[in-house]
Amino acid sequence: MNKKVCILYTGGTIGMVPTDRGYAPKKGYFHSLLDEIAQLRYDDMPQWDLVEFDPLLDSSDVSVDEWNAMGQAIKERYDDYDGFVILHGTDTMAYSASALSFMLEGLGKPVVFTGSQIPMCQVRSDGRDNLINSILIAAQGTACEVSIFFGGKLIRGNRATKISADDLIAFTSPNYPTLAEVGIDIRYSKRALTMPVQAGEFKLRRMEHIPIAVLKLFPGMRFDLFEPLVTNDMKAVILEAFGSGNIPSRNTALIDSIMRATENGSLVAVCSQCYAGTARLGAYATSGELKDFGAVSCLDMTTEAAVAKLYYLFSLGLDDAALRRALGTNLRGEVSV
Ligand code: ASP
């Protein structure tokens, strides 16, 4: 196999070592770990290069600047490789994979995020398997999109959500089928791999720092205390509402804040706090006012994808009407419409 894969190592448990303060990444160490994995040099493995980021991060510290750095690293090497693997912490992997799915416009090669729950320096690490399969998937060129490979499954990056802090199957894609199952063979699902067609060549769209908020509702919430979050200087607020997008309707404090937020020019978007399913504004009377006041439903998008999509759409500089339209449009397979 003379395919070439570029591995971008950004940090995360996969390359961490124990320290006095808990697990942390260690500069320059990961290469030595890879040297010990004989399979990485078998004839049926593609060629690969490793690019180590500086600083290496726990993914809790990954944000807009790091997304731009990942995008830039791919852009600079795009023509030199058949695919890319991004080694990343699991905690915010679904956010980063969602962000990159939007930022890498016209992507025609696989970009596979992976990592591990147990560091590679430990005997039971899941990192070796995740890494080897991700390299193969990146080289095969079948899933030409941003995906996450973890625990034997390849899933669409912007459909993924982290479901376990402990299990080796740490991610799932509640509202979209798996792209590939990895057993004795790597079995792709042709149907799941369908994507909206994008016009134009590959291009990196950088993300800007945009003030947005996510507000998870809970019974008994004192909405007056959260009012500034909804109304002050926010470009957008994602409400994680109950069920199919419902909010308390007998206490009008929230709906009043939403009205003021909309008058201030902020966009109010609604996701469901359910693990699976769709936010359908107007299905119940308790979401009717959200609709009346111009809130936009994120339908079956994960909150991770909705956050990334809002960063992206505001970074495009769209006007309000175009942005609202784009939020409900399937751009990269992130939403069922
Ligand atoms: N805290 C780690 C991180 O997200 C967890 C992991 O990689 O699994 O970087």
Most distant CA atoms of the chain, gap in Å: 67
**What is the C-alpha separation between 56 and 24, in angstroms, rounded?**
9
Sign for the CA dihedral angle at 205, 208, 213, 214 comes to positive
Beta carbon of 334 within 6 Å of any ligand 1 atom? no
Mean pLDDT, residues 250-269: 89
CA distance 304 to 248: 24
Fold: same for 4-204 and 212-327: yes
Predicted local confidence at residue 184, as pLDDT: 96
The reply to whether ligand 1 has any atom less than 6 angstroms from the CB of 96 is: no
pLDDT band for 263, please (50, 70, 90 cuts).
confident
pLDDT above 70 for 169: yes
- Over residues 86-111, the mean pLDDT reads 98
Checking 123-130 for CB contacts under 8 A at 24+ apart, the result is: 125/14, 126/151, 126/168, 127/13, 127/14, 128/37, 128/39, 130/14
Cβ of 90 below 6 Å from ligand 1: yes
Greater confidence (186 vs 224) lies with: 186
Q: What are phi and psi of 62, to 5 degrees?
A: -85, 130
pLDDT above 90 for 251:
no
Stated length of the chain: 337
Statement: residue 178 has pLDDT above 90? yes
Mean pLDDT of the residues in the chain: 96
What was the pLDDT predicted at 8?
98
Token duo for residue 30: 């990961």
DSSP 8-state secondary structure symbol assigned to residue 208? P
Q: Which residues are catalytic?
A: 13
Instruction: Indicate the class that CATH gives domain 4-204.
Output: alpha beta
What is the residue with the minimal CA distance to atom 3 of ligand 1?
89
In angstroms, the Cα distances linking 189 to 142, 161, 218, 265, 290 are 10, 20, 38, 42, 37
More confident site: 223 or 114: 114
> Whose Cα sits closest to atom 1 in ligand 1?
58
Other beta carbons within 10 angstroms of residue 118's beta carbon come to 15
* Domain 212-327 is found in CATH 1.10.3720.10: no
Residues 43-66: what's their mean pLDDT?
Answer: 97
What 229-233 contacts at long range (C-beta under 8 Å, 24+ apart), as own/partner pairs, is 230/257, 230/258, 230/260, 230/261, 230/266, 230/268, 231/257, 231/260, 231/261, 231/264, 231/266
Burial letters for 106-115: b for 16+ Cβ neighbours within 10 Å, e otherwise?
ebebbbbbbb
Average pLDDT for residues 208-217, to the nearest whole number?
Answer: 96
Average the pLDDT over 22-45 and give the result: 95
pLDDT of 305 above 60: yes
**Hey, which of 90, 114, 131 would you mutate to test ligand 1's pocket, going by the most ligand atoms within 8 Å of its Cβ?**
90
CA 162 to ligand 1 center in whole angstroms: 11
Does the N-terminal peptide bond of residue 55 adopt cis geometry, omega within 30 degrees of 0? yes
Neighbouring CB atoms inside 10 A of 77's CB total 15
Rg of the chain on CA atoms, in Å: 21
Q: Is 89 in the pocket of ligand 1 (CB under 6 A)?
A: yes
Give the pLDDT of residue 1. Answer: 57
What is the arithmetic mean of pLDDT over 159-172? 97
**Which single residue is written with the structure tokens 């693997």?**
85
Over residues 250-274, mean pLDDT: 91
Q: Is the CB of 12 under 6 A from ligand 1?
A: yes
Break the chain into its structural domains and give their ranges. 4-204, 212-327
> How far is the CA of 310 from the CAs of 109, 303, 304, 330, in angstroms?
24, 10, 10, 13
Q: Is 151 in the pocket of ligand 1 (CB under 6 A)?
A: no
In the chain, % of residues over pLDDT 90: 89
Distance 8 CA to ligand 1 centre (A): 16
